[in-house]
A = this chain, B = another copy of it.
Amino acid sequence: MNALELEIKKAGFLIYLFMKIESIDFFYLSMPEVLDIGDGSQDALLVRIRAGGLEGWGECEASPLTSIASYVCPMSHSACKPLKYSVEGKSINSAEDIYRITAEVKENSPDLLQADHTLSGIDIALWDLLGKRLEQPVYKLLGYQRVYPKLPYASQLFGDTPEETFKKAKHTASKGFKAVKFGWGPFGKQGLEQDIAHLHAAREGIGKDAYLMIDAGTVWSEDHNEAALRLPALKEVNAYWLEEPFVNGALEAYKHLSEATPPVALAGGEGCNNFVQAQAMINHAGLRFIQIDAGRIGGITTAKKVADAASGKGITYVNHTFTSHLALSASLQPYAGIEKDLISEYPVELKMLAQEIGKEKIVPDSNGYIHVPEKPGLGITVDTASLQKYLVDVDIKLNGKQIYYTPQL
């Protein structure tokens, strides 16, 4: 190596040592047709962050256009700044840098409601980037020395009829899943008798030994009496939990139902978009399971904080994931090292878009367990070539001046 080459190498090394965020790009992807069903894998908002010759990827579990607007909008006042204010050009060399960026978003954008959903994808991409830079899986950067297998539950919608629910249950059980969740669809909307029929159909379909989770999809809003009518049937079919009977944060309704009989364990929290909301659910809702979507709560940083808080209160942390395996990897990292938190949501009805996001898949092993990826970052390579066909070009102008245009994917 001659002197010039040595200087170039040293300069490159210094650039690498002191990485700053060079670009943050959002990609709105959508299926050609989005159906009015509870399937969140029909569109996606990916975030790509580049620095020092590397790139990290994240995914917001959020309205793509609204989140992009929150990133580029003009400042309204000191507490309502666009996300870009807290992110662009910042250093990204250690976990502390990510914590600092999260804290700055909280300080600069508390009055921008969409901010936490947008931050989620950014935070996930930052962890992926940092993991690649430090050549470590994200969970190690979070402080976990070892990780534990998780038992995936096949997460899917109820059938339109109890017969269809039975068929879906049977089919899922035949694929080897030891835990199955049914949710949304007609549940709670066609009367008590029909709900009971769906519950029994689900149990019969999966067999008596599998875990059965039921997701009410907030259908009873805040009405704990209506929800309580389903408790006997839930007990009869040995439901492992009843999820989201009420809107997120309805502490009173949750608490009432948690004390009703027969007792059925409650799960909730996917709608939380910051730490204190999750903390309120942990402390005041009578939950047994707290479910966190890293793509909504502010990313891996905040999800990890919730996992720690839940452990401290003896509540089981569960990921909430209904999109890609990039999102699944991000959702697993925050609690990958907590052995007692065994259960993991695993979507099995993904649209092609969500299937094509990640080249690598997180699939159950021969014992039916899944494992957090061991590769640097999130361990999922985004398949940009396959995703071109789903890309939605976004063009936003204010007073004739373009403030956002979709970059090259």
Contact = CB atoms under 8 A, between A and B. Distances in A.
Given A111-B40, A393-B400, A66 B73 contact: yes
Given A64-B76, A74-B34, A76-B43, A218 B249 contact: no
Contacts of A273: 113
A285 to B, nearest CB: 10
B392 A110 contact: no
Interface in A261-285: 271, 273-274, 276-277, 279-280, 283-284
A75 B38 CA distance: 11
A128 interface: no
A73 B77 contact: no
Contact of A398 (B63, B65, B248, B400): B65
Contact of A62 (B81, B113, B184): B113
Contact of A63 (B106, B112, B397): B112
Interface string A202-215: 00000000000000
A173 interface: no
B114 A63 contact: yes
A113 B106 CA distance: 15
A284 B249 CA distance: 13
Q: Which of A40, A74, A392 has the most CB of B within 10 A?
A: A74
A62 B115 CA distance: 12
A98 interface: no
Contacts of A61: 111
A378 to B, nearest CB: 22
B70 A114 contact: yes
B271 A111 contact: yes
A380 to B, nearest CB: 21
A75 B34 contact: yes
A225 to B, nearest CB: 17
Interface in A40-82: 40, 42-43, 61-66, 68-70, 72-82
Interface residues of A, dominant DSSP: loop
A385 interface: no
A66 B249 contact: no
Nearest to A184: B78
A400 B392 CA distance: 9
A356 B37 CA distance: 44
Interface in A101-140: 106, 110-114, 116-117
A36 B398 contact: no
A43 B74 contact: yes
A222 interface: yes
A365 B73 CA distance: 40
A86 interface: no
Interface string A146-173: 0000000000000000000000000000
Contact of A110 (B110, B271, B284): B271
Given A252-B279, A399-B392, A80 B40 contact: yes
Q: Which of A63, A75, A78 has the most CB of B within 10 A?
A: A63
A283 B284 CA distance: 10
A344 B360 CA distance: 58
A331 to B, nearest CB: 16
8 contacts: A34-B77, A37-B77, A63-B69, A65-B69, A113-B273, A249-B274, A252-B283, A395-B395
Given A250-B276, A280-B284, 7 more contacts: A36-B77, A36-B81, A40-B77, A42-B77, A63-B112, A65-B73, A283-B284
